[in-house]
Amino acid sequence: MIKVTKLNDHELVINSDLIETIEAKPDTILSLRDGKKIIIKESVDEVVSRVIKFRRLTSEGFQRPEVMAALSDE
């Protein structure tokens, strides 16, 4: 799960496994597997970075306090 911000400043938490593509046209557009498209403020690089960070942290396990702290620092 990653946190993103829509253009109206509304924050969303998205299941990163559902992201099919990320485009910059010039706004960043997330295309989800169900066909939905979400326009967000974050750059493509920022979204990719957040997905990588989330996957690294979750692969280490939620039982470790430092993992939970890192997830809440976004």
pLDDT tens digits, one per residue of 24-74: 999 999 999 999 999 999 999 999 999 999 998 887 665 666 666 666 655
Q: Which helix (H) or strand (E) holds 47?
A: helix 44-60
Position 63 scores a pLDDT of 60
Catalogue the E-assigned strands of 19-74. Answer: 19-24, 28-32, 37-40
**What pLDDT score does 57 carry?**
82
* This prediction's pTM: 0.78
Please give the CATH architecture assigned to the domain spanning 2-72. Answer: Beta Barrel (2.40)
Contact (Cβ atoms closer than 8 angstroms) between residue 8 and residue 15 = no
Domain ranges of the chain: 2-72
pLDDT of residue 30: 98
Is the pLDDT confidence value at 14 over 80?
A: yes
Task: Specify the pLDDT at position 58.
Answer: 81
